Amino acid sequence: MDSFFYIALTFVLGFHIHFAQANERPSTASSSKTYIIHVKWPQGKTLAQSEDLESWHNSFMPPTTMSSEDRPRMIYSYRNVISGFAARLSEEELRAVEKKNGFISAHPERMLHRQTTHTPQFLGLQQQMGLWKESNFGKGVIVGVVDSGITLHHPSFSDAGMPPPPPKWKGRCELNGTACNNKLIGARSFNLAAEPTKETGTPIDEDGHGTHTASTAAGAFVDYAEVLGNAKGTAAGIAPHAHLAIYKVCFGEDCPESNVLAALDAAVEDGVDVISISLGLTEPPPFFNDSTAIGTFAAMQKGIFVSCAAGNSGPVHGSLVNGAPWILTVGASNIDRSFVATAKLGNGQEFDGETVFQPSDFSPTPLFLTYAGKNGKQEAAFCANGSLNDVDFRGKVVLCERGGGIGRIAKGEEVKRAGGTAMILMNDESNGFSLSADVHVLPATHVSYDAGLQIKAYINSTATPIATILFKGTVIGNSLSPAVSSFSSRGPNLPSPGILKPDIVGPGVNILAAWPFPLNNNTDSKSTFNIMSGTSMSCPHLSGVAALLKSSHPHWSPAAIKSAIMTSAEILNFEHKLIVDETLHTANVFATGSGHVNPSRANDPGLVYDITADDYIPYLCGLGYSDTEVGIIAHRTVKCSQTPSIPEGQLNYPSFSVSLGSPKTFTRTVTNVGEANSSYEVTVKPPEGVDVKVKPDKLYFSEANQKETYSVSFSRIDSGNKTVEYAQGFLKWVSSEHTVSSPILVYFV
């Protein structure tokens, strides 16, 4: 990798490159903890040929078979996604393992975390026409969901009208009786590292996250869905006729790395077509030390498409995770549906906000309005637990600030505890205009930072400020949608800045999907839904889209499906203006990647940028990884000295991310998946200060699946702006039927 690229990222953009050491479990020298251990394959055998890998893995273990806690030391022996195992060892025992012939590397297990209807219509999916009809709603495709489990007997997982799973399915159901069916074809639980309990041994969802994501990807049609009277309509996943295979890896807040690897190992062996992972580390390690990247590489080698959440640490640059180029990395945007609650002030000003809880009996009569932080204490301004004690808030509308590590609903709980009647929750500056609809415990509305400042100014302008909240219910038609949410993690992609990430954005704000628990005592507990936000929600939308494309084009590779999604993406909102972010200004490609998903256009992309598993090896060598490190990812012996390394920009990726000092030239190869006889002409909008030359400027095809190669040269020109750090543009191949678009990002070094 170009060292100047890292320098530019670190100093020009003002952040540092960190690896995920902070997520490692603390321990003392005498205690044991779980390690992910990579070893060589048994001599003379490939991973697939080895009949007794567990015996090979056990040969590395200490003589005793039980830990001091009377639990097995060997936790998982992996067969498909890494050559290695997970084991509970003391540091002294690990040193002994490291001396064994065949040992490669080990690291302490890290924790992944969750990255936490109307969207099919928002995405242009219609029952009687288009992609849904052409793909038969995802029929025959198996979507594996790696998350917190599943809720049994929810109508979103009904198998009415569903055929049996395809013969290739080799998975199993760990639920009792007939809980699995032709929709929910598999359900397994992975938590061998934990103390055995009733919860650790069952795939049942204990918190709702897995149920929500699974139904978003491939939930069945359910009429009369709603949440507390809002968002009424028919709920459906993006691929409603696809099969679901559930892999539970999350228990409580944590999703242990060893569990995730075990789930991926099983999913590959079971025969899934798509894997959806709405989980991620807090910081991105290099790919050879990232179990998700390693495990999903093996899945990709087997032809399995993988979609992952980009993370919820936006809008900070460089906050993105799951950025390996063989993964579809998904950011979050809003949709055109809002749950409107308007804060109306005594001076006549009105500010629209959002909430799911919309009480019909709340009086519009104004009440006294007060600022929670008027005592000068920041914790009170945040409405932290127990902070509203020394001021009288009884019967008032209370203005709280977002932040301070306190959840939005928890702030309302504190206001209610202090006797407040209603809450106005104002954003902090970083979240700007991005709003979330929550199931609050009292009448409330969540308003923008700008609105909050004006409400504060009104409070300070009069001795008797008053306000009320007007609940207006579900409103369709936000012309600024899709807009990137503030929480959606941003590029650059720190482990590989030459690969632009995220790849795509999709619906991830205020998403209605299946839920295990009733939200009030009057709700039918067998047909409950909830509204959630996060890249956890956008990821399964794209997993569902991939399932539709796999059903429509069963022979497309994972890279071809990804290319189709990226090159067909939208960069304009409903106002036909460039997509905006939480500031209401144009979002950059660090936020949007290629743009917002357009499933119907992805079904007929014209051209695709294909990549084989072997194509990634020169790229990985070019990152400066050692032979051993590349081998960990590739699941075979690699000698980079015998493999022509390539720079990141030379990988046949559907986007361009270029560190530009001296001129650079890269090539791309496109495959014709459109009309046999077709021609394309290039259109370029160069980044400011960059000259872009494409050769040839026309591509001609005479048959399906024909490949053509072009080169793109980038050189810097004097634009008069010496302070710009990066610039963006696009390259499009345009035919009479198709537009194949690629974003361009240039860093100046």
Exposed/middle/buried for 164, CB within 10 Å: 0-12, 13-18, 19+? exposed
DSSP codes of every residue in 655-686:
SEEEEESS-EEEEEEEEE-S-SSEEEEEEEEP
Name the token pair of 368.
């006294």
Do residues 42 and 56 lie in contact, with contact meaning Cβ atoms separated by under 8 Å?
Answer: yes
Name the token pair of 723.
């302070």
> Residue type at 701?
F
Q: Is 212 among the catalytic positions? A: no
Name the token pair of 654.
């559907």
Active-site entry in 83, 313, 536, 742: 536
Which residues, in sequence order, are CB contacts of 459 under 8 Å at separation 6+?
Answer: 369, 370, 371, 399, 465
Q: Is 107 among the catalytic positions? A: no
Active-site entry in 147, 254, 290, 336: 147
Q: How far is CA 316 from the centre of its chain?
A: 16
Identify each DSSP E strand in 552-662 by its residue range: 607-608, 656-660
* Closest residue by Cα to residue 325 from 18, 563, 673, 47: 563
Name the token pair of 557.
């590779």
Q: What span, in angstroms and rounded, lies between the C-alpha atoms of 659 and 663? A: 10
Which residues, in sequence order, are CB contacts of 287 under 8 Å at separation 6+?
Answer: 293, 294, 324, 495, 496, 620, 623, 625, 633
Active-site entry in 209, 241, 243, 317: 209
Q: Is 154 among the catalytic positions? A: no
Q: What span, in angstroms and rounded, lies between the C-alpha atoms of 12 and 8? A: 5
Name the token pair of 433.
């205009």
Length of the chain: 749
Angle 609-610-614 (CA atoms, 0-180°, nearest 5)? 140
Peptide bond into 696 cis (omega under 30): yes
Q: Is 81 helix (H, G, I), strand (E, B) or coil?
A: coil
Q: What is the DSSP letter of 163?
A: P
| CA dist list (Å): 342 to 178, 354, 476 | 47, 8, 16
DSSP codes of every residue in 671-729:
EE-S-SSEEEEEEEEPPTTEEEEEESSEEEE-STT-EEEEEEEEEE---S-SS--EEEE
Cα radius of gyration (the chain)? 26
- Give the residue numbers marked as catalytic: 147, 209, 536
